[in-house]
Structure 1
Amino acid sequence: MRKTSKLIDKSGLKKRIFWRSFILLTLLILGVCTTATISETNHYRQATQTFYVAQARLLSHQIPDQVLWNDQVALLKRLQSTVSSDTAIDYAYLVEDGVPLVSTFPNGFPLGLLKLSTNSDTTMMIKNIADQNNQRYYHIMVNVDTTRAVLHLGIQKSELNRRAWNNIQQILAMSLLAVLIGAALSRQIALVTTSEVEQITAKLDRQHNFLQTVIDGIVDPIRVVRDTKEIILMNRSAMNNLANKKTQGKSCCDNYCGERDDHATCPLKAVKENNGPVRVIQHRHNKDGSTKIFEIEASPLIEKGQITGMIETTRDITDRLQLEASLDEKKSKLIYMSHHDLLTNLPNRLLLRDRLGQALNRSAPTAMVALFFIGMDRFKKINESLGRESGDQVLAQVSKRLKSCFTHGEVMARLSGDEFAVLIEGSRELTTISHIANQILEQFTQPIVLKDDEIYLSASIGISLYPCDGNDTKQLMTNADIALTRAKDEGRNRYQFFEAEMTRHANKFFQLENDLRKALENNELVVYYQPQINLLSRKTTGLEALVRWNHPEVGLISPLDFIPLAEECGLIVPIGEWVLRESCEQIVRWQKQGRDPITVAVNLSPLQFRQDNLVATVEKIIHETGIDPTILELEITESMIMDGIDKATSTMVELTELGLQLAIDDFGTGYSSLSYLRYFPLSKLKIDKCFIERVTSDVDDAALASSVIALAHSLNLKVVAEGIETEAQADFLRAKSCHQGQGFLFSEPLPADELVAHMDTC
């Protein structure tokens, strides 16, 4: 781009300024000279006319005889005779270039007249003459030029012409001098004006360079275009990205990268039509077949209220639009993910809540809306035994089976790991709702096949109905969940409609949880001990520690009522640690009282057994209480071992290295293989009471109990039978070489002080 200074021809500028100034001054001088010449000519013409008039008047009034104009001597003689005064005649002498015209007068020529040169002097002399005879020379006193004409009676007409020419020559000489001075002045004006123009040009150059630097620093291409589409300014980005070389001064339409669409909007035209700023999107196609999308923001250039061009900023938004499209796709995917379960592609709890709200809004007051909460029974066991991948496959197949039950627009959702929901709208009878619930349960009767394994499942269903069980989404979902819990509590593999009494039970359960959290702090928990008896000697050989909750308002609460609650809310871990510490401290106290050491068995909960710090916690309690670890026995269940055999085995080994003993509790209720027992560091096996209660009446149970006892002996494990309530049961076990047992036949669980009295009497 050319600078402003390069656009100006300094030499030509000086010449133009000089000649313009010179011509103006010359015209002014010529005007003045012309005016002076015309004025002098007019004076000459007036003087000539006055001369003739004065002569005529003088001669007609004072000189009777006619005298020729050129007879100057005769005229003077006539004046002498008329005035009859030497003084007057002396003053009437006429002089031409200082030489008297008449030199024969008796008094001679008065030299004083030679000094008279001004009109004022002449006028005074004329007045002196006039004073002698005021009436006679009255007309001569009218004006100086007339008086001079009268006194110069002898001057010829050629004298007047000569004087007029002299005046004109003087005027012309002065005009020539003025022209020369004007030329010099014009040259000086040209020099000064050119210097000022150079200064202004330099200032404009600096402003232009500053503007160019500013717009060059902008990443987006910027162009300034006249209304003729001529580009007058552009930044570096525009030159690099939008145009070819030497594009300034060319049409803006010829300087785009790529070919525009035929229907592309012209920014300049849009600015004129809109009479203000516009935003235009253009697609331009490159030779390689690619398409770029440009966003053009154009603003009008306005001069004297008219749009004379535009300033346009061009931005390549191809990548941005692609990114926005990608983000929109990701956003849509995120929205989908936030409202759906990715494993089953079913709506999640959030979307179910929304759909339920919509259903309630469009439902008639008399119409029924049913909400099913479906919970799979013992699904956690599948995850823990077969792995989460297999568990996910089971869930996917369950969702497909449930979908097959509903083909009329019902909404299905997955609420959590093993819980599903179904939303059904429309006026339906309770019998129809029950039929649908039974259809759902039937889907779980057929096993799910994973490779070579067949997995049998069952489910429980809780149902809440609108409007009888609630008028909003929160209440209906809460009540369906409460009904599901009741279905599980009452045996599973069933459905349960919500009942108002369930809310009271749920509230009681919630209050019980809050109270349980305070029980540890308020020392409301108590350890009871149930004796383990030698079936041959009937002597107490050990104790099992069992926790009880002495509620300040309700009284003594069975562990069957609060242990599941403690496991659900996570309080079972601190409660289990407290029971272990309290049992160890009690044994140590008895030893300090002089009693013989006795083995105490403490139950570990599944959650407690899976704690990473279990071994460290047990070791710390042993150390702090001072108990002999050989008389401490920890009881674990089959399922606790089989849920994670490797980790469970490692934990058991570390515990036995502390010196304590391990017993497997409730043997026979789990699904472990008997062959696994030989790999675990166990010292005792406890037969669950469900096998003991029918050993005297059921041949199969008797055979099973006999087999377990024999197996334990073959593995060098001690056997303890639980739940012995009759002598017949004790006799059977003793006959099968089961040497230890516990149950109400011998003693119910007792607090520490009562247990001491009981042992002292036995």
Structure 2
Amino acid sequence: MENAINELFSDELKHLLGLSSIGLCVILQGDVITFFNSEFYEKFDINTERACLSDWINLIDPSEQESIRQKLQEQFITGQPLVESKYRVKTKNGDYIWILTTSVAKYGEDGQVVGFLSAHNDITDKQTYEDHIHNLAYTDVLTGLSNLRMLEFQINDPFKYLERPHLLMFGIDGFGQFYDAYGRRAAERLQFEFSVLLSEYEIKGTKLYHVDRDEFVVLIDSTIDFDVEDYFRDIANDYQRLLFGGRQLQSLKLIGALIPAIYHDAKVDLTLNMARLTIRSIIDKEIVDFVVYDESMAAHLRKREIIEKGLLQAIEDDEIHVYFQPILRSDGIVVRAVEALVRWDNPEIGLIGPDDFIGAAELSGEILALGRYVVEQSCKMLVEVEKKLNRCINVSVNASVVELMQEGFANNVQNVVNRYGLGLDRIAIEVTESMGLNEGSKADREIRELRKLGIKVALDDFGTGYSSFDSLMKHPYTTLKLDRLFMERLATNLVYSDMIGSITKLCHHHQISVVAEGIETIEMVKLAQGMSVDYLQGYYFSRPLTKPQLLDYLEEQIKKEPF
């Protein structure tokens, strides 16, 4: 037999026998195998003199044996000239090493395959290195879980038995604030602790990933009987029992969003974005911690997606419009100022109010560009009013705490106003007491810089917080704006009249003017006038107006003014 094999594969053997680092064998039909370079095979528990093909296959990793048998059968049938395969083979000491098999077909006179000359090469070191590189690329270093790259690679076929999977995302509400308060090490420890907890819940039909900071994903086989909400509840309960730094994590709420298999896209970035938007909608609601995505949520999530991704583009496309609501002298006739209010008119979803996009703009930092745009448009309006109506009015522009925390905010406002040749006292920056403007903070320093430059600063929404008087006295405000809800209470409860009267007197004593917001009826006008407020603002006089509408309104009001 050996002589026949030598004759059959003579050319190939002459070349390969010179390679002592590899094992050689000839495989024929009928479970026949003949080994050469027996030195190579000494590491395996096999008798190379008497072994058959099945003896060699039995040394292969059991999970791969059947596929190897099928591949050999296919080679004899299809007659492929060259085939490579890679598998693990058990050594005498019980370890497995990686073998690369390269098989060259030999054909008979009838053109059919009569056998294969196979070269066995130990590639364990090479495979170990590749596995190490693979782990670096596809494993999260901190948690040891698969990372976003692996999710992108596996989402279509995480396991051979896993059909189109459900995607469950976990998020930790408040993680960003936790990171800011306690630093990177504490945040990483929290990520690690949660990954350990999550790993305890990995079962057949699930696959775990750490895709970003506080975002963890579980892919779940959609064909198995599995109650995802119960699974989430079990993990959430154990999460709340985690002790971290000697205290429970009650302040860091665990959130879950399930994207069922029928909804998610094979493009993982789209699916993850859907999950993230769903989690943010849960955080907004505050009363729930787990939501299953369905079609009814699509419009809401699409709105959030547009808001979070498209604000800068919206400014460029002229979708952001600045409206102006008149602020009248307490006589209800003379317009002294207007408040600039921003609206977003998106061609896909229509009008978007500031409550819907200001928060997102603050988180993304796009509020800075938006703020500059509003100041710019407000200055243009003042110039046009003065030019067309020969009337000087002032404008109030709302500022976000993010803007006030920006170094040079006051100087940026000054530069815009100067560019239009306007007096700095024509502009007022409105801030709210909910910003938490502590003395000495960056925001406090910018407020004081605004005042040094001659720009007015108004305290908006007065009456909605707990430290109003304290805030009023600590910062150099020029105007106080009584909140609409405050004025509504006055209309139904006259006890508030003494309070507002005292506030007004205190403000006037400190040269602070008072504006009553939310004036909607003649009764509220009279009550506010009785409290000696300086200015009135609300729908009783006018809704927010576009610039052309404002010009028309001012022209009519000027006609009503006494000579």
- TM more than 0.5: yes
Q: Deviations over 1:343-389 (max 9, x none)?
A: x6765434555675664543257xxx443223344554555xxx442
Q: Give the structure 2 partner of residue 362 of structure 1.
A: 161
Quick check: 1:390–1:450 contact (8 Å CA) kept in 2? no
Question: Secondary structure in 1 aligned to 2:453?
Answer: coil
Tell me, in whole angstroms, the C-alpha distance in 2 between the residues paired with 1:718 and 1:347.
Answer: 60
Q: Is 1:371–2:167 an aligned residue pair?
A: yes
**Cα shift at 1:465:** 2.3
In the other structure, the counterpart of 2:548 is 753
Map of 2:139 onto structure 1: 339
- Find the counterpart in structure 2 of residue 578 from structure 1: 373
Over 3 Å counting, the alpha-carbon distance change for 1:435 and 1:637 in structure 2 is farther
Greater helix content: 1
**SS where residue 466 of structure 1 aligns?**
coil
Equivalence for 1:249:
none
Indicate which of 180, 183, 201 corresponds to 1:408.
201
Task: Answer yes or no: is the 8 Å Cα contact 1:462–1:495 preserved in 2.
Answer: yes
What's 1:614 paired with? 409
Match of 2:432 among 628, 631, 637: 637
State the secondary structure of the residue aligned to 1:635.
strand
Give the letter for the 2:417 counterpart.
I
Q: CA deviation at 1:626?
A: 1.1
Work out the CA distance in 2 between the residues paired with 1:643 and 1:453.
Answer: 29
Tell whether the 8 Å contact from 1:544 to 1:600 is kept in structure 2 after alignment. Answer: yes
Mapped to 2, the partners of 1:708 and 1:401 lie a distance apart of 51
Say yes or no: does 1:483 pair with 2:278: yes
Instruction: Measure how far apart 1:644 and its partner are.
Output: 10
State how far apart, in whole Å, the 2-side matches of 1:656 and 1:461 are: 47
Map 1:224-373; keep pairs closer than 5 Å: 335=135, 339-340=139-140, 342=142, 348-351=147-150, 353=152, 359-364=158-163, 369-373=165-169
**Are positions 1:591 and 2:386 aligned together?**
yes
Does the alignment pair 1:462 with 2:250? no
- Quick one: structure 1 residues 671 and 593, their matched pair in 2 at CA, closer, same or farther if it must change by over 3 Å? same
Q: 2:458 aligns with which of 654, 663, 666?
A: 663
Partners of 1:754 and 1:497 in 2: how far apart?
Answer: 45
Alignment check: 8 A CA contact 1:486 1:496 kept: no
Residue 632 of structure 1 and its aligned partner are, at CA, apart by: 0.8
Does the alignment pair 1:540 with 2:335?
yes
Match of 1:74 in 2: none
Deviates more, 1:586-595 or 1:733-742: 733-742
Partner of 1:65: none
Stretch deviating more after TM superposition (536-545 or 627-636): 536-545
Q: Is the Cα contact below 8 Å between 2:163 and 2:221 reproduced in 1?
A: no
Equivalent residue, structure 2, for 1:528 = 323
Aligned equivalents of 2:467 and 2:525: distance in 1? 27
Q: Note the C-alpha offset of 1:699.
A: 10
Aligned to 2:399: 604
SS in structure 2 of the partner of residue 750 of structure 1: coil
User: Do the aligned residues in 1 keep the contact of 2:368 with 2:403 (CA within 8 Å)?
Assistant: yes
Distance (Å, rounded) in 2 between the aligned partners of 1:360 and 1:490: 36
Q: Which residue number corresponds to residue 686 of structure 1?
A: 481
> What is the rounded CA distance, in whole Å, between the counterparts of 1:438 and 1:691 in structure 2?
42
| Letter of the 2:167 counterpart | L
Cα pair 1:382 1:391 within 8 Å, conserved? no
Separation in 2 of the partners of 1:576 and 1:456?
Answer: 32
Q: CA deviation at 1:499?
A: 1.9
Q: By how many angstroms is 1:473 displaced?
A: 4.8
Contact 2:487–2:524, Cα closer than 8 Å, also in 1:
yes
> Are the aligned partners of 1:347 and 1:414 in contact in 2 as well (CA < 8 Å)?
yes
Structure 2 unmatched ranges of 5 or more = 1-16, 22-124
Identical amino acids, percent of aligned pairs: 26
Q: Is the Cα–Cα contact under 8 Å of residues 444 and 457 in structure 1 kept in the other structure?
A: no
**What displacement does 1:457 show?**
4.3
Opposite residue 543 of structure 1, the aligned amino acid is V
Q: CA deviation at 1:497?
A: 1.4
Higher strand share: 2
Given that 1:340 and 1:346 are in contact with CA atoms closer than 8 Å, whether structure 2 keeps it comes out as yes
Secondary structure of residue in 2 paired with 1:375? strand
The aligned amino acid for 1:362 is Y
Q: RCO higher in 1 or 2 (8 Å CA, sep ≥ 6)? A: 2
Letter in 2 for 1:631: R
Q: Which amino acid aligns with 2:139?
A: H
Question: 1:429: Cα distance to partner?
Answer: 6.0
Q: What does the per-residue CA deviation read over 1:98-124, in whole Å, with 9 as the maximum and x for residues that have no partner?
A: xxxxxxxxxxxxxxxxxxxxxxxxxxx
C-alpha separation in 2, matches of 1:429 and 1:530 = 58
Name the residue aligned to 1:297. Answer: none
- Structure 1 residues 587 and 730: CA distance shift in structure 2, 3 A: same
Uncovered stretches (5+) of structure 1, i.e. residues with no partner: 1-273, 279-323
TM-score (normalised: structure 2): 0.60
Q: How far has the Cα of 1:655 moved from its partner? A: 2.0
2:447 and 2:212 map into 1 onto residues whose CA distance is: 33
Distance in 2 (CA, whole Å) between partners of 1:444 and 1:730 is 55
Secondary structure of the equivalent of 2:260? strand
2:540 match: secondary structure:
coil
Q: What residue identity is the alignment partner of 2:377? A: E
Summarize the alignment of residues 169-208 of structure 1 with structure 2, pairs less than 5 Å apart: none
Query: What is the aligned residue count?
Result: 435
1:623 correspondence with 2:418: yes
Using the alignment, how far apart are the partners of 1:578 and 1:660 within structure 2?
Answer: 18
Q: CA deviation at 1:601?
A: 0.3
The amino acid that maps onto 2:140 is H
* C-alpha spacing 1:510/1:736, structure 2 compared with 1 (3 Å): same
Who wins on radius of gyration, i.e. which is larger?
A: 1
- Quick one: structure 1 residues 636 and 463, their matched pair in 2 at CA, closer, same or farther if it must change by over 3 Å? same
Q: Distance in 1 between matches of 2:330 and 2:173?
A: 39
Task: Find the partner of 1:647 among 438, 442, 454.
Answer: 442
CA contact (8 A) 2:257 2:279 kept: yes
**Which residue of the partner structure matches residue 126 of structure 1?**
none
Letter aligned with residue 752 of structure 1: K
1:434 aligns with 2:233: no
**Structure 1 residues 758 and 416: CA distance shift in structure 2, 3 A:** same
For 1:754, what is the secondary structure of its paired residue?
A: helix
C-alpha deviation, 1:633, in angstroms: 0.3
Secondary structure at 2:275 match in 1: helix
CA RMSD, 1 decimal: 5.0
- 1:200-253 CA-partner distances (Å, limit 9, x unpaired): xxxxxxxxxxxxxxxxxxxxxxxxxxxxxxxxxxxxxxxxxxxxxxxxxxxxxx
State the alpha-carbon separation in 2 of the partners of residues 490 and 651 from structure 1: 34
- Distance in 2, matches of 1:735 and 1:457, equals 48
Once the 2 structures are TM-superposed, how far is the Cα of residue 530 of structure 1 from its aligned partner? 0.4
SS at match of 1:601: strand
CA apart distance, 1:529: 0.8
The corresponding residue for 2:111 is: none
Deviation, structure 1 residue 462: 2.0
Give the Å deviation of 1:649: 2.0
